Amino acid sequence: MPPKKNPLGLNALQLKTLTLFQVLATLEDHASPADDDPGAVMISNLPHPHGDHFHLGDGVVASRDATGLANPAVWSALARKGLIRHDEAGTLVITAAGRAYDTGLGSLLHRADH
């Protein structure tokens, strides 16, 4: 039997936000290993949209797909499900489980020349 799609029942905004955290965890300018948890990555330097998009590495993300990056309720929901950890100082860690979760939303990131 194949694994269940979205087994934690994340909503659309949570899935989009987790997808962006997963991409950020792969980018040298935004990620560093979390010392206290093997496989976890601390994410810093969250991107800020300019106009209707922002850049992640060599890709572009529509601002409308990234509203969860600044939404504390989304962060709390992802933390309750064990996919991220965060604190009041704004430190964000995506756990190994969060990095491995199949959101099915790889299409949020578009390649661009500019």
In a domain, 2, yes or no: no
Residue span of the structural domain in which 36 resides: 12-111
Residue 31 lies in a domain: yes
The domain total for the chain is 1
Return the SS3 of 56: strand
37-89 confidence digits (pLDDT tens)? 889 999 988 888 888 988 888 888 889 999 999 899 999 999 999 999 998 77
50 part of a folded domain: yes
Q: 6-30: per-residue pLDDT in tens?
A: 999 999 999 999 999 999 999 998 9
| CATH code at position 52 | 1.10.10
User: pTM (2 decimals)?
Assistant: 0.90
The answer to whether residue 7 is domain-embedded is: no
